[in-house]
Structures are given as C-alpha cells and as structure tokens.
Structure 1
C-alpha cells in the first residue's frame, strides 16, 4: 500500500471506522504508536475476522500524546506504545498493570527516491544545505535518533522536529526533507517512495514496544485476546513481515 494511502486508512481507523462493513456489536479500542500503523491495520482485520461482531478502532499517534490522552480521561481497552517511558506514565496513573514487550524496532536513514541531495550517511545531517526531518526528542523515535546521533558524534541540524515518525516519513516522501531518521518498519512500508542509506551501527539503537490492557477497559476479554494475538505465531509473523524484531 502506498504511504499516503496507508496514512489515509490510518485516519479512518483512528476516527472510528473499522475494517469490516457489517454492524459491530462490540468495539475494541486500541491506542497505538504511529509506527505500528500498517501492522495493526492488518492485525485488526484478522481480529475482526476471528471475532465476528467486533470492530477494532485504532487511535494512532505519538506514544507520549496517547499516554497523555489516557491520563486525561480518554477511554481505551489497549495501549501499545513505542516507549517504556510513555507506558510507565499510564501505569503510574493507576490505569494499567505492568506492560509486556511484544516487539522491537530499529532506526533507518531515509531519503527521497533517487537521493537527490546525495546523502551518504549520518554525517550529512549536519550539512547546511540539507533539509533534515527528525522526530522531536520527546517522542520515542526522536529519543532514539538523539542517542544514535550522539553515539556517532554528529551535530544534526534538523529543519523540522515532528511529533511522530509517520510525519517525518511523509516529509521525506514528499521531498520536503532531503533526509530523515525513521524506523526500519516505516522505511519498509514506504517501499520505493524512499531509499534507505546503509549506516553501519545505526540498527544497534533499538526501541522496545510495550503493550498493556487498561484497568477500566470496556472489553477486557477482547483486550486480552488482542494482546494474545500480538504474542501468537500469527501476530509475530505480521510484525516480522513489517520489519519488527522479536522482543
């Protein structure tokens, strides 16, 4: 699925449109990190197939924003974050028990198709003539990018700091940025709309994905079933196909 079409689908799911067309008797609401978009859309369709009469509604955004929504009173059944810190905010608020990690992800340096700015590696992110897009350090992809750049000794000069990884990817796809740091899964989802620059050691910077059922979940049995799906062979296969690694 092309990137922009995938983002459109994510908006529909996040606004309450399930992947099925039949009326739903029950709704499972899943708050999930934006980098999980493609995988969770596929898993939502599988879940609805295996649980007739159930609609899965995905709210996809940056993990800290989702955590704040939950602390502020938003209702959900499941929270899947790209950050242990964001998950802990929810746990500390008494909204969930300790989460489990179901996947990990790695960083990738991406450029628009054809690499028009001739980017060769992380050092180029310090170039004055390069438009660089990074995630804001307050969100998981930004924190991971900051650590990776620090290890590499690169003083990056981002032109924009985005609130989730999909926004960085979109800037690169549209040619509004000459380069950006995203997750491997996002680079794979974009297909030939971006090129990935091989950077030795960059993939060593990993992000863990914790998931939890919310204490006030309206559908606790469905929440448990969703978490079980993530840990199942079927769920792991979908995540692996997207580029996620096992926990």
Structure 2
C-alpha cells in the first residue's frame, strides 16, 4: 500500500524557500524513514516524490558549507532504511538525477555533483558494512552471509540499471552523469579501503571485480567520451587488477581484450 501524501506532509516543505522549514522537513523525513514498516511500504512513485522534494531542497540551499552538510545528510538517509528499501530508494535517486541533470545550470552543478559523490560513497559503504574482514574465516552460508550477498546484488543491479547502465540507453542516463560517476568511483572505493586486499579479503575483491565489470561494460558504449573515460578509470594504477601479473583475472582480461582499437578512428561524432 502506498504511503499517500497525507502521511508525508513534509514533502512540500522539503523545497521551501525557508531554510528552517527545510531542515525541519528533513528531520521529519528521517524519522519517517527510520520506521521500517513505513519505509518498506513506499512505492516507486513515493520514492520519486521524496527525491523530487530533496532535489529542490538542495537546489534552494546556498553557501558551500550548508550545501556540503546537506549532501552528507541526504546520502546518510540510506543508513536509516531497512535493507529491502535501499534498492528502490537509490533507483528513485538516480532516476531523479537522470531526469534533472541536463537542466542544472552551471552555478548549481557543483553541489549536485557532490551529492552524486556522497550518495555513491554511502551506497558502497552500505555494502562494505557487511563485508567480512580479511582475517575472518569463511563460514558456511549464514544469515549474515545471505545479507551480504543480498546487499551486493541489490547495489550492483541498481548501478547496472542507472549510472553504469549496461544497455547503452543514453536517454536513460545522461552522458554528463555517466562521466561524473566514472570520474569518482575509484576514489570512493579507495576511501572505503576496498583497494586494500589485506583489509577486505576475498569477499571485498570479488565485489570490486564485479563493480569493475560494470565499468568495463561502458568501454563498449556508442558514446566515445564514455568509452574513453571508462578505459582511463579501469587503467588506474590503484586498482588491484593493474597490479596483478599480466592482469590475470576476469576484469584484467576483459580490459585487455575489450574494444581495443575501436577508438583509433570512429569517424566524426554527430
């Protein structure tokens, strides 16, 4: 059952021109989302309405420090959601940003780029929170391991459907948004320690490899800037498959055997 607008009266106030009103509305939203039963009942339309309000909340926010704080707060809403609500919540976020991206003026673009970075970082952290440490023994299937698998699958499916969309549907995710995600993903996994095999162990490396394959799919995009940017990020010296001998793993082989000379001459782009 959808949570109708009467149950979420704070939606309109999220986009208020009054800062105090926006702050109060965001606090009400956090309280609402922290109630698992309410958050689990949200439909895709509900999530879109909420993200539209949050989008305009950031739109109305002036000055760098408040903008930075608000971006962190919006990204942190993931932490109060039950696991089953995170995937739909993130899908609504990416759909909202994809719809609005090309209409963001240059004076506001920087704060929305920061929001994307913070949400991507929070999404990856959501998975890292359930990854076992390298020193932990690999146990048989448990409730915790199932939760880990479900979180990883949910996030990767979400990324594959939106910012790292694999069907090359350029009308679904604008090129500028794709390029920004390609620019920042290595930085964000590094911040979380995912590039340190001694800390993350086999589970962390497997997750990173699967994420790398989504980026590798972008090297076959019909958009040349996306192809080139994806190749550049996959060649980052910080990534473990570039340190592995001869790139002898699934991602390394895919990168080496990818589109190859495709970018040597494509003719003129339209």
TM-score norm. by structure 1 comes to: 0.26
Task: Give the structure with the higher percent helix.
Answer: 2
Greater per-residue strand proportion:
1
Structure 2 length normalisation: TM-score? 0.25
